[in-house]
Structure 1
């Protein structure tokens, strides 16, 4: 009888120990699983943090390159780069979790979108600056052309003949220049002697253009004497970054049909030598010619 009780007690103890062993094994398994899950989460958070930092560094490099080009947008670019630098500093110090990293990722996306917008503006501005760099002051170009005019006349005419005006542009043709002696009777006699001339007559034709805008047109006529002096009004007008000193303005009422324009420039004591006549439509040179007084 006692042996039976002893066996029963032993079995009970063994059962309890088995249950405790199973409980310990389950706890160890759960602890191990939780630890592994935690490590996986920590690794994922660390990886995401590194990825966001790399993206921010690339964003900063883009701003550095754009700022180095020294555009007029440099101040705005510097301000946006500073936001990127500040976010990088905050992220590097942050211990972070998945929720915090999502906030940093969202802030990066907002900064990236702003960067793309600014880069479009920078590219547009670069294109405009390149065009401006190619457009020299029109008056300086014309004066430089005048010094070499006799040597390059043929080449210039060939170049002009290849220039195709856009459909909406008006073509200025048949530019003619001559000097005249005004008699007391009012009659004008053409002359090629500087001592006799007291009037310079400038005439040209505006070609018919059915698609051009009709209305009042202003053409700036520039006459340069043999000593590179601009004759006439000597007024200066500015078109964007270009300035032009002109002799007079030829005002034309254009109604989409051919118009002949003629205007006189009175004067006295004209210099001997070659004169250059240039016609501008705003800041664009549209025709030029020359004549010589003995």
Structure 2
């Protein structure tokens, strides 16, 4: 009887152990399944995170390329690209779960849509710029042709101006100088002796010129004696870097017709030898001659 009871107890213990073993196996299986499920979820989350980061990187690259074209929308494109860069930084720093990844994916979709709208605007601007560039190129060609034509005209005008300027210069000719003796009666007698002379008479002609500017014309007359002294006023005037010492000036009212000019230079103790007479129009020598006294 006792053996029978012991056998019953042993069977009961074995049954309990079997139940515990089965429970343990079920628990271990569940834990294993949960671990596998968690590992799979982690892999999927990591993959999704990398996918969103790649999409954001592509979005940034699109903005970079559009910004490099330097359109009038560059500021707006830069602002949107900066938003993409910030979202990428936030995503990289996040621990990552399904809820947060879904949030980032939603933000990416909104940014992608905004990018597509902006790219359409950029394309419209590019086409407008191409049309404008073509128009500008045509205008540039016309302007270049006009510029070349104007340069030719300017050159021709400069040549014409030089020709007119040369043609409008007055010609001084027939410059002659003679010494005279002034008598008490007022009569003047020409002489070639220095001891008798008490004035010099200078005459010259301004030729007719129809294209010259009319009005008062002033000439500077310089008389140099045999000792290289300037006679008369010995005044000095400057024309730019050039200075001129002259004997006297004569002003003529010129009306585009030939004019004879006669001036006298009083003096005394005239030296024997050769005298030189020069006529200047401002700083330019326009006529010269010489004469001698015995």
TM-score by length of 1: 0.50
TM-score by length of 2: 0.50
